[in-house]
Chain A
């Protein structure tokens, strides 16, 4: 057994020695929970690779019984999936960049003690975290701003968050004030100090916020459903929702391009599985990064921080 002493803040020492009964109970409990977390995904992957007509007999639990790629062939011709991917990638990238730029700029101002009316502005921001107008006034606002049914409805309302602003601001405050003073001596403007000095010095917190916003944007579903009706603005999550919930299936026109024996063989359930797998692959790819960064940054997340 390998024990890294440093990683756990020196706890390793205490844990030297053989596992006793309680250790095994804990290991069993955690192993069981881990399997419970993992299995539903495995079940979906297995189902996605199984032939549809065979699957209906039931009992495909751990490995595909009749291996088949037919579900994926049906998914791949669905243009809505690709529209969904395009919209979701675009909104995730654009909103995350805008959010980071805008929120960190305000955070910089809030981190300065010489900001006029600082505590007034602080409470003005805090109030919005606990109270709002609700769905209808917000909907009417978006309507007035002509944001409904526009791509920008994904970006502009998501550009700023008071919570993230406070987190970034706290980080900025931990940067030594001498850096700011010497830059002022050299005649740098506040915006230059913010963008050239503070931003590069704050990579850990910026990475964390990037990933929070990015994951939120990728998974967001409500805004696409409520604020858009345009088929070309349908996000991946909205497409998945329709696909899973309303058994809205690949359009017959698009199925026309597939061999007829394949079409007669597929089942809705298995095509859904394949769609879920395809839509999850991007997350799987960036997961190792997500995990490492987010776990590191979570402590920044506590307001006490």
Chain B
């Protein structure tokens, strides 16, 4: 009886799952067919649905247009360099932060540090980048104000108008906004380490430095690997909001990234096919990056996300 009941087609459960399947069909799978737009010439089209049916295929011409575009070099450069800087600087800092928090003796101080450093995460990038913008402004902003007061500089530096300062501003503000919250996952990973290992290390005479290096870090490595893989797959996603907020015509040469470029040529300039091609290029690169880094991680360490 029990067995027969289990084998019967459970239509109630099936209907509940189908609701999700249908939703994804409409909002994720149907747009995937829209990729066809990238292989036709529908730029500036007035009636894109009709044109999509009627216009001829143009093969890879939209991709060739992107690769040969005057902006291709700088857009790819900025996207990649910012992505790599994020990986090298913004990614490891929360791990170090969690390790330092773990070394604190005073739980009360630890709580204060955590509560304060989590806060910027909950503020939108619009507000945070707005604060950054006014903080570095040449018109009485904090940085210039202080530098002038101590006679480090005589003239205010227009940080956001000089392309050379763009990467440092983005990276420093990301570190301030994300470090506290980014450390939470490592803090809980550290809390989950078996206490007996620490006791054994203590008995063996390991000092705190050695304990951190040979016990804590190896124990949180699986978590680090998962986070690293996710970070690598997101390397081309520069974070639209923060870049868009801080970019202006004067720093564009260093601040234009794929995400902002897609928005401008697609929505503002209405170059539908071209933009879809650029977007597709980005997705394919992201999938390849994730797939290959997952493969390497699995081979080398046995940890992956799939």
Contacts and interface: CB of A to CB of B under 8 A. Distances in A.
B250 interface: no
Main secondary structure on B side of the interface with A: helix
B278 to A, nearest CB: 8
Nearest to A211: B122
Main secondary structure on A side of the interface with B: helix
Q: How large is the interface on A (under 10, 10 to 19, 20 to 34, 35 or more residues)?
A: 35 or more
B231 interface: no
B105 interface: yes
Contact of B120 (A1, A37, A269): A37
A31 B110 CA distance: 10
A144 to B, nearest CB: 7
A161 to B, nearest CB: 10
Contacts of A56: 140
Interface in B1-29: 5-6, 9-10, 12-14, 16-17, 19-21, 23-24, 26-29
Contacts of B221: none
B195 A135 contact: no
Most chain B CB within 10 A, of A30, A130, A191, is at A30
Contacts of B184: 294-295, 298
Contacts of B164: none
A136 B36 CA distance: 11
B89 interface: no
Nearest to A35: B116
Given A4-B107, A134-B35, A303-B305, A33 B117 contact: yes
Contacts of A299: 185, 188, 192
Nearest to A244: B130
B97 A33 contact: yes
B262 to A, nearest CB: 6
Given A40-B132, A116-B10, A280 B276 contact: no
Most chain A CB within 10 A, of B29, B179, B188, B245, is at B188
B74 to A, nearest CB: 20
B70 interface: no
Contact of B107 (A3, A131, A133, A191): A3
B116 A141 contact: no
Given A134-B283, A219-B124, A221-B241, 6 more contacts: A26-B100, A27-B109, A58-B148, A106-B17, A135-B263, A219-B122
**Closest CB pairs A-B (n = 3):** A137-B34, A134-B279, A133-B31
